[in-house]
Structure 1
Amino acid sequence: MAMDLAKEAPNVVTEAGFKDLIESGYHVEVVCKVDAYRKNSVWHGVWVLRAVNDEGVEKQLVTARARTAGDHIQIRTFKTVTGLVSFLIDLGFSVVAFPVYEGQRWTFTLSQSEDISTED
């Protein structure tokens, strides 16, 4: 019997749905789960993303294959800054920052990204 994630787990969303939420006005919240550290020239850590609307409704980003062995929903994690930045740029953000200490959060909205101007 298949589980309907929209009914059973209303606080999660796959990558395709996450992008739709962001485009419809949700904010992206980046949460640092493990302190970041630099190894050679790459920053590592653990970050998760949430889509949050103005009323505070949160949707946690999960992998496209949201179910794994044992019927558990798998939260999408980013373990390098490169992966995190690439994902945020693919969502349409042109300026990216990220939290580096466990528990820190950073919020993005597409309108913030669009307001950035550059000088020649």
Structure 2
Amino acid sequence: MATNINKEAPNVVTETHFKTLVDSGYQAEVVCKTKATKKAAVWYGIWIIRVVNKERTYEKLLVPARKKLGDDDEIAVRTFKTANGLISFLESMGFTQVNIPMLEGGRTLHALPETPIESSDS
């Protein structure tokens, strides 16, 4: 059976596949790319998310989707520029606790709860 390399680029995962992986036991690793700063009541920085297995032998960067640019495909890593945006994304994926690294190079791991908690959105 031939593999279609256009379905998934090496070392990246789309948001849909990310959700499937974390639902099956993989973890989300939040990586701080720039030191977080506070302006008014909002924390700004640049964070990325990787999906990893517990043994850390499988690691892929989260990407929103491929963008067609001329003859080449360009793959952009999904970045979060505010702590609120990062929290909102992780909550939408089912995470009930979020720990955000604030210093450049900081990393935190997130796992889904073993038993899903009912959403309070009614």
TM-score (norm 1): 0.83
Matched, 1:78 2:71: no
* Correspondence list, 1:1-120, <5 A: 4-6=6-8, 9-56=9-56, 57-64=58-65, 66-69=66-69, 70-111=72-113
2:80 maps to a residue whose letter is: F
Q: Where in structure 2 are there 5+ consecutive unaligned residues?
A: 118-122
Give unpaired runs (5+ residues) of structure 1. 116-120
SS of alignment partner, residue 113 of structure 2: helix
Alpha-carbon separation, structure 2, partners of 1:31 and 1:113: 26
Q: For 2:97 and 2:12, how far apart are their aligned partners in 1?
A: 25
Aligned residues: 111
Cα separation, 2, equivalents of 1:3 and 1:19: 20
Residue by residue over 1:64-117, the C-alpha shift from the partner in whole angstroms, topping out at 9 and shown as x without a partner, is: 3x22425220000000011000001011111111000000000011137969xx
Deviates more, 1:31-40 or 1:69-78: 69-78
Distance change in 2, residues 1:41/1:74 (3 Å): same
Contact 2:96 2:113 in 1 (8 A): no
Tell me the percent identity.
48
Structure number with the higher helix fraction is 1
Partner SS, residue 46 of structure 2: strand
TM-score, normalised to structure 2, is 0.82
